[in-house]
Amino acid sequence: MGGVDFFSSLVTMVSALAVVLGIMIAAVYFLKKFIKGGGTGIDDGKFIKIISTRYIGPKCSIMLMDVLSNIIVVGIANNQITMLTTISDPKSLEHLKEVEREKKGPVSVFDNLALYRNKLMLSGRTRKGPRENE
Identify the pLDDT of residue 18: 96
- What domain range is 79 assigned to? 50-87
- On the question of pLDDT at 72 being above 60, the answer is yes
Domain assignment present for residue 6? The answer is no
- Backbone dihedral region for residue 38 (phi beyond 0: left; psi -120 to 50: alpha; all else: beta): left
More confident residue, 40 or 100: 100
The answer to whether the CB of 73 falls within 8 A of the CB of 83 is yes
Domain assignment present for residue 33? The answer is no
Domain assignment present for residue 39? The answer is no
- On the question of pLDDT at 99 being above 90, the answer is no
Identify the pLDDT of residue 133: 47
> Per residue in 20-70, pLDDT tens?
999 999 999 888 877 765 545 455 567 888 888 889 888 899 998 888 878
Q: Whole-model pTM?
A: 0.43
More confident residue, 23 or 109: 23
For 70, the 3-state DSSP assignment is strand
Identify the pLDDT of residue 124: 67
Domains of the chain: total: 2
Domain assignment present for residue 80? The answer is yes
Domain assignment present for residue 11? The answer is no
Query: What one-character DSSP code corresponds to residue 124?
Result: T
Q: Sheet of 70-77: strands edge to edge? A: 48-57, 60-67, 70-77, 80-87
